[in-house]
Structure 1
Amino acid sequence: MPYVEEKTERIRPQQFHESVGLEDWRVLGEGACAYFRTASFTVGAQLVQAISELPGVGAGHPDVDLRHEGVTIRLITITDDYYGLSKRHIELARQISAAARALNIPADPSAVQTVQVTIDALVGPDVVPFWRALLGYADRANSPEDLIDPHGRGAPFYFQQMDAPRPQRNRVHIDVWVPYDQAEARIAAALAAGGRLVSAADAPSNWVLADPEANEACVGTAGWTGPYPGRR
């Protein structure tokens, strides 16, 4: 796992979003994320250096993805019994945003997203070991239905319980978490591109869509109504 935090004061996505000074950040399926647009790899490296020098950054262990066009930051706590946000992430997120502003690097909250692969299984305990071994993944904290990349690189896998076989319906689909204020635009774009709405019963936390050949996908948000929308 990327890191282990011994003691956590757990918070929900809504608590994070309601905190002052976190306008750059959005809570998605895999933690709180922010994206900062840079003019070059060098500028991005300067931001990463500034983050590394923040007081207390070691306790928060941000995941940092540095690319030529920008820097993506993810904040999440991983322990043996918890996978989510902690209170310490609020102040760390503020400090990271302040470091970006000091370097005149703008944030773009609309650019963040996380993706999950969901597999429908009749007997999850029979199916999960295969995927765990194949992917080199590990169990997610306190959740036998989930596998995560221990190196924090690949999309997580979620195994959804089926009550009966569904031979006429796909059993693998993609969950896409987007910022809560980007969901309607993303759905509209997918529908305009030939998709159809299968269900909005769980909106505004989750919508089920399908492509022209009935392959399904979910668009979820994690801003206000729960930690893992997109599961159905």
Structure 2
Amino acid sequence: MSDLLSHADVTARTDARHWRVLLHTIHASFRTETFSRGFLLAQRITIAAEAVQHHPDLHLTYGRLRVALTSHDVHGVSERDVALAAVISHIADELGIESEVPVLGITEIAVDALDIPAVLPFWRAVFAYRDDPGSTPALEDPAGIGPSIWFQQMDAPRPQRNRIHLDVTVPHDVAEQRVADAIDAGGHVVSDQRAPSFWVLADAEGNEVCVSTWQARD
């Protein structure tokens, strides 16, 4: 069994050039410029992960390798993740590959419901998702690619506002700029009472999105 670390502790102990806490995981995005350099980085990470028997999620595209680390036994970040993150940072430095923190983020679909057990099976079926064991009630993509779906209990009908919205979890040190950019692009703040945990924003027609961070959640 791993020891669960707080988000603040993880943030303090990982390389700030590369890693950020997002939804109980730590993420890095490495700008590899070419597919072959990304494959080389992924190969080196795979060898290091096999050596310690702790495996990250890798998403390789042209010019970029996204890395996510978490310990599924504690549904969060543990010492094993912090240690492997340090090794991955060292590998990237050896290869001369830089990271790009501002592009990091995770999108979730949030469904407000009066009767969650009645609506959850519909979303499970239409997305071909499965129950998320680390977050209840919630659904996850078995392939680990699509956004997760979580359900928020409503106490009364709310016809005046949309009941499905997006949550965008971003690095804590880019959140305020992300909010400012959204406002400059025609949006407005619905509520900042829970910031920096999350800001509720809306577009010009009132469609809402939450910009979230790990802060004020531990």
TM-score range, shorter chain: over 0.9
Work out whether 1:46 is the aligned partner of 2:40. yes
In 1, Cα distance between the equivalents of 2:14 and 2:148?
30
The question of 1:122 aligning with 2:122 is answered no
- Aligned residue for 1:31? 25
For 2:14 and 2:140, the matched residues in 1 are separated by: 31
Distance in 2 (CA, whole Å) between partners of 1:142 and 1:39 is: 35
Distance, in Å, in 2 between the alignment partners of 1:158 and 1:152 is: 15
Structure 1 gaps, min length 5: 1-6, 228-232
Match 2:71 to one of 63, 70, 77: 77
1:57: how far off?
Answer: 5.5
TM-score calculated relative to the size of structure 1: 0.89
Name the counterpart of 2:3.
9
**Counterpart residue identity of residue 188, structure 1:** A
Partner of 1:175: 167
Runs of 4+ in 1 over 4 A off after TM superposition: 55-58
The CA RMSD over aligned residues, in Å, is 1.6
Would the aligned equivalents of 1:63 and 1:74 in 2 still touch at CA under 8 Å?
yes
CA distance in 2, matches of 1:171, 1:220: 18
Render the CA deviation track for 1:35-85: whole Å, top value 9, x for unaligned: 110120001001001101115566322000111121100112224xx4222
Q: Could you tell me which residue of structure 2 aligns to residue 155 of structure 1?
A: 147
Instruction: Name the SS for the 1:157 alignment partner.
Output: strand
Q: Do structure 1's residue 144 and structure 2's residue 106 form an aligned pair?
A: no
Amino acid at match of 2:72: I
Q: Secondary structure at the match of 1:213?
A: coil
How far, CA to CA, are the matches of 2:139 and 2:162 in structure 1?
A: 20
Aligned length: 218
Instruction: Say whether residues 1:225 and 2:216 are aligned partners.
Output: yes
Percent identity (aligned): 41
Change (3 A) 1:172 1:20: closer
The answer for the alignment partner of 1:135 in structure 2 is: 127
Closer/same/farther in 2, CA of residues 64 and 20 from structure 1, 3 Å limit:
closer
Contact 2:189 2:201 in 1 (8 A): yes
* 2:209 counterpart of 1:209: no
Which stretch shifts more, 47-56 or 179-188? 47-56
Output the TM-score relative to the length of structure 2: 0.94
Q: Equivalent residue for 1:18?
A: 12
